[in-house]
Amino acid sequence: MIVLLQICDICRLNFANIEKNQDLVYYPVHFTLINGDFMNNDFIMKVGESLIAGGPPGTAAEPEVVIGHLNGPFGTAFATLIGNQIKGHTKVLAIMNTDVMVKPATLMVSKVTVKDDKYTNILMGTVQGAIANGVLDSVREGYIPKDKANELGVIVSVWLNPIVTKEKDLDHKILFDIHRKATTSAIKKAMNDEPSIDWLLENQESIVHKYYQNALDGK
């Protein structure tokens, strides 16, 4: 495969002609000039996850994120999820406050089947606000380009431990901070393609799934 790049501007758009099996396929490729290096901003989807724990019972966060362009297949999936509501797994936009949607547009999907009002209030209150702030932190830190905030979308698969409904003295500030940090971490890892395939191959034999190890240990 031969890739030919024609730079049309000092720092922006160009097209790549990719020759394969004597057929030419044209792909738009977007580049930004950063510190003298051309950085490829063109992708269909990015995927990442993160786990932040260590707080009081029920406050751990383990979001999984998918990031993509709203004008492509990701956007179709995004809109389909909004329109295809399922009892117990309602999809909602992440908001900073009532009537203030975060950018990039972010859709929350609960991993847990929601069955009671208390869980709903925590998920659609403290955690929803935390996720929105985590997304905005990602823009502030440069993980998501600010100039792409209206073009990209984020889908967050949310883990909120059901035991939070049984915690009499649940610390909402800690819960908020952990989910906020976990969201930013997952987005950072997604946009940076972490972990890398080289790291995974190098460390494969030393990585043991926590709960597999617990099973081996009879815990």
CA dist 104 → 88, 133, 144, 154, 187 (Å): 25, 11, 9, 7, 12
**What would the pLDDT profile of 110-147 be if each residue is shown by its tens digit?**
999 999 999 999 999 999 999 999 999 999 999 999 99
Low-confidence ranges of the chain (pLDDT < 70): 1-41
pLDDT confidence of residue 41 = 56
Would the pTM of this model clear 0.85, i.e. be above it?
no
pLDDT confidence of residue 30 = 47
- Pick the closest to residue 66 from 182, 153, 188, 170 (CA basis): 153
pLDDT confidence of residue 4 = 36
What are the chain's domains? Answer: 2-40 (no CATH), 45-194 (3.30.230.60)
CA distance 74 to 107: 12
